[in-house]
Amino acid sequence: MERTRHPMLDSDAVDGVYFTPEDFTDDENMIAKTTKQFIKLDAKPQSEKNRPITRSLFEKAGEIGLLGIEVPEAYGGFDLGKKVAGLVAEIMGAAGSFSVSFNIHVGVGTLPYVYFGTEAQKGKYLPKLASGEWIGAYALTEPNAGSDALNSKTSAVLNKEGTGWILNGEKQWITNAQLADCYVVFGKTADGMTAFIVERTFEGVSVGPEEKKMGISGSSTATLILEDVMIPTENVLGEIGKGHHIALNILNMARLKLAFANIGTAKRALHLAVTYAKQRKQFQTALVDFTMTQEKLANMAVRIYGAESAAYRTVGAMDDALQSVESTEEFVNVVADYMIDCAVNKVNSSESLDYIVDEAVQIHGGYGYMQEYEVENLYRDARINRIFEGTNEINRLTIAKGLLKKIKKEKLWPDAGKGNSHIQALERQGDYLTKAKELVALSLKAVTPSFEKAIVEEQEYLRLLANMNIRIYIMESTLVRTEKAVIKNGELEEERKLLMTDVLCEEGYRHVQSAAISFVSAALTDEFDRDRMMKEIQDFSVPIYSNLFIKKRKIARSIIEGARYNV
């Protein structure tokens, strides 16, 4: 399966083809309501440290169908696709620690069987995982293999009879470790990394004590210990020596699922901040009436809108691409094609969440630091998201290296595409997007043949390149979403989306310009070339900057009055 474009580089803005949250059907929105009800009645009232109730929550989630969204109907699921799975993951982001346990189970704990399992493996494990009878986990990380996850020390040796594999090793920081009934475990064989299905009851399997964590205290995190564990040959998942295909591609999808959970948590934080700021008064004035508070609320809402637009754009495209997949090889090729997109969403959503929960605590003042207030818990829980599913540093390297590879192979940047919109109210934003793309294309001219070999080791340059492209992805996704909304409902009805898109594109361009200046000034050692290219950047003709303070006050007021983001 082959895609003729890369969404980071080739704009479909004029076609308006990207999937957006407004495209969900009434039936799909009913699933969202069911998820919200589950959180309100079952998951939310529970203490963040009350892990014993997690199994009953899984059973309840299984009963109402939330665990089988991506599981084929033949194995007890509903096969509703990744868009609906993303919607459920987003809503579940408001469920605290259970969101982590849930997403691990339905993601890396279940999808390896869906895409790489034999018919026998699917028939045995998927019905149990979809119903909540069994809980799944994924064991890749080791004490000395974190970001370098493929450098596994866990060994897998075929026994003398050839009837099974003997596993030895330790897997660290495994989510759901204490609760799981089955684990997808990666071990090194003579032919390379291989994935195995390990059941909790297998002899030699044990789990260490619960880790004492900064946040997500309600989720189980512990070490999985494997001591001469005999694994029958039928429990090899995928092909021997090709476990890296499972590890990398399932992690790509996990990053996207994590992005949705981050968005849901961010919406919850904004809702709490608005609610508190309405009630709290200082100097006889409600906090929401202070313009600096309004600026904070607007910035939070704008970042949510951008993250949401980008994540649904990606999941919609991936879902469509996977519809015609008929083999494991095709699946691997499609998911690998979205590696950059998934990394973009993971980085952007986790860093947006960090910013939003921090501002939510700030709005609460001293009360936000107290454990009796929910934002304190959100603040601690949020920090892990920049670390797991690949650190944001690793994901930035993935974005930059992947783009350089595609550019060299397909020569995409000279025809990077435009961002112009058919909607007059969006012309400025489209111009900002076009100019941002041109800035990145100009920056890449600084990658001379002599510098090209060195740049893969120069991580600061790769960070700047990744940051520029993250901004462009968010700008483009938001612009298309707003254009679709305005075409459907009119400018007056979608005033807030227009304002948020205006802020995102103008500020996005400023960030790209700043990064381009840093990139070019550092990459070019020849003073003449550097000065010439810097002048090109400075001579860029961009729309006149606007008064973003006024726009943000309008955004904040609409949020305060309408409470749109209330997960």
295 flagged as catalytic: no
Burial class (CB within 10 angstroms; exposed 0-12, middle 13-18, buried 19+) of 430: buried
Closest CA to 301 of 503, 485, 506: 503
Burial class (CB within 10 angstroms; exposed 0-12, middle 13-18, buried 19+) of 538: exposed
Which of these is catalytic: 48, 90, 376, 389? 389
Closest CA to 251 of 138, 132, 154: 138
Q: How far is CA 53 from the centre of its chain?
A: 27
Stated length of the chain: 567
Packing angle of the helix pair 54-63, 119-131 (nearest 10 deg): 110
**CA 523, 529, 533, 538 torsion: positive or negative?**
positive
Phi, psi angle pair for 194, to nearest 5°: -135, 145
Phi, psi angle pair for 281, to nearest 5°: -120, 140
Closest CA to 359 of 301, 446, 437: 301
Alpha-carbon dihedral angle through residues 171, 177, 180, 182, given to the nearest 10 degrees:
0
The string of DSSP letters for 369-431 reads: GSTTSHHHHHHHHHGGGGTSSS-HHHHHHHHHHHHHHHHHHH--GGG------SSGGGHHHHH
Q: Which residues are catalytic?
A: 389
